[in-house]
A and B are shown apart, each in its own frame.
Chain A
Amino acid sequence: MTPPDSTILIDDVPVPFEPGQTILEAALEAGVFIPHLCFHPELGAHGSCRLCNVIVNGRNISACTMKAASGQEIEVDTWLGESAQAYRRTLVQMLFVEGNHFCPSCEKSGNCQLQALGYDSEMMTPHFVEFYPHRPVDASHPDVLLDLNRCILCELCVRASRDMDGKSVFALAGRGMASHIVVNSPSGKLGDTNFSATDKAAHVCPVGAILIKRVGFAKPIGQRRYDLEPISEEATPRREVEEAK
């Protein structure tokens, strides 16, 4: 079938889009889930985590950076006819072994998008050899804990602090394997910045790297977002939510 204008086909389902929207934005607005970590609706695309990679007319591309265009036939759950789950699982496994992702000790467990995508892709093991990097915890800030053991370098905090809070508290330093988040203060400590627990950057971390202190277990483990519902089933069509208002 030929899709009409302003419609893309995602796994054979017609999905409308508005000019300028990316495939991921159009999909999420229509309630079609495409896994993603470094994308945030208010901060846009980054194209670094590769979880949202899909097949567009036979080519592999990240759905968060590719603009939707009529005539696109997109495969999300399959890649060229083969299940895409194993590919996405491999990406999640590599993110797990690169950091120290010890879920039982993490306050974010149950609300963590990386963990939820592990569940969703049926990741039973990180599979690869663990890196066990040495990354000391920065607890210097009175209200916020910075634990880069769990950082996946999505730069959401960098972008939120720069573009929404106007503070530029975080930046990415180093290259390749040495890439890491640095804090913009002479001491390098978060406590010596003007960072605040009410900043947008304190609330966009998809993993447990930036945590608000003293609220970690306000909601018990077992009753949290992804304890109750798989991440792939929570994609509420944003258009319907807005119409219901």
Chain B
Amino acid sequence: MSATAKTSALPKVRAATTSLAGCFGCHMSFLDIDERILDLMQIVEFDRSPLTDIKHCGPCDIALIEGGCCNAENVHVLRELRANAKILVAVGACAINGGLPALRNSLDVGDILNEVYRTPDGAASNVPKDPELPLLFDKVYPVNEVVRVDYFIPGCPPSGDTIWKFLNDLILGRMPRLDPQLMHYD
């Protein structure tokens, strides 16, 4: 990051990340920034994130959300991050339009559960009903249908370079924009 020297005297940017109804592919793609993460760590520190294993989010500057909302726990986590983050970013296809999990959206969720959990002979259905399990929604919802979202990074997943360009723009106070070669929905 070119402005590392200039910004290192400033308080670090606090960032949180989470994966809701996603595959962690966007997090893996974020790690594709490779050794640039060392530059990033000069000016960013992570709050709640799979990288830190912190379970609950405190006040932070940026929250990166991967995945849409398929159950009540997703919404709980998303609202916690929205309440704590100044800037909330939807990362990847699932966060933006539901993505792969949303392929179930045109089907009845009851039918799907019965199909998946019925016994091999088809006689009975063993749909899990442990109260510990979060309530499954009728549909998978993009995050912008649940909370206000400030920025979106499309892609499945967005490449490491795309995420890097976006974070550079955002942290250095530029309007985040993606060049055509970084702009992909697939």
Which residues on B sit within 8 Å (CB–CB) of A115? 185-186
A221 lies within 8 A of chain B by Cβ:
yes
Q: Are A132 and B180 in contact (CB under 8 A)?
A: no
Inter-chain residue pair count (beta carbon < 8 A):
73
- Chain A CB within 10 A, most for which of B99, B183, B185: B185
Say which residue of B97, B107, B177, B180 sits within 8 Å of A96 (CB atoms). B97
B14 lies within 8 A of chain A by Cβ:
no
Interface string of B157-186 (1 = CB under 8 A from A): 000000000000000000001101001111
A104 lies within 8 A of chain B by Cβ:
yes
B89-104, CB < 8 A from A: 90, 93, 96-100, 102-103
Binds A, one of B40-48, B55-63, B144-152: B144-152
B2 lies within 8 A of chain A by Cβ:
no
Q: Are B105 and A129 in contact (CB under 8 A)?
A: no
Q: Are B186 and A104 in contact (CB under 8 A)?
A: yes
Q: A125-B96, A129-B145 are in contact. Are A110 and B186 (CB under 8 A)?
A: yes
Give how many B residues have a beta carbon under 8 Å from the other chain's beta carbons. Answer: 29
Q: Are A132 and B105 in contact (CB under 8 A)?
A: yes
How far is A61 from B144 in the complex, measured between Cα atoms in Å? Answer: 33
Q: Are A125 and B90 in contact (CB under 8 A)?
A: yes
B106 lies within 8 A of chain A by Cβ:
yes
Binds B, one of A81-89, A116-124, A164-172: A116-124
Q: A100-B106, A102-B93 are in contact. Are A122 and B186 (CB under 8 A)?
A: no
Q: A104-B93, A125-B96, A125-B154 are in contact. Are A130 and B142 (CB under 8 A)?
A: yes
B33 lies within 8 A of chain A by Cβ:
no
A103 lies within 8 A of chain B by Cβ:
yes
How far is A130 from B104 in the complex, measured between Cα atoms in Å? Answer: 13
Nearest chain A CB to B69 CB, angstrom units: 12
Interface string of A86-111 (1 = CB under 8 A from B): 00000000001100111111100110
B20 lies within 8 A of chain A by Cβ:
no
- Chain A CB within 10 A, most for which of B93, B145, B178, B186: B186
Q: Are B186 and A124 in contact (CB under 8 A)?
A: no
Which residues on B sit within 8 Å (CB–CB) of A123? 154
Nearest chain A CB to B99 CB, angstrom units: 7
Select from chain B the residue with minimum beta-carbon distance to A227: B184
B139 lies within 8 A of chain A by Cβ:
yes
Select from chain B the residue with minimum beta-carbon distance to A132: B105
A135 lies within 8 A of chain B by Cβ:
yes
B156 lies within 8 A of chain A by Cβ:
yes
Q: Are A130 and B98 in contact (CB under 8 A)?
A: yes
Q: Are B183 and A132 in contact (CB under 8 A)?
A: no
B153 lies within 8 A of chain A by Cβ:
yes
A173-199, CB < 8 A from B: none
- Interface residues of chain A, those whose CB is within 8 Å of chain B, are 96-97, 100-106, 109-110, 115, 118-119, 122-127, 129-130, 132-135, 221, 227, 230
Please name the 10 residue pairs, one residue from A and one from B, whose CB atoms are nearest each other, closest first.
A134-B106, A104-B156, A103-B185, A132-B105, A125-B152, A124-B152, A109-B186, A103-B186, A119-B183, A230-B180
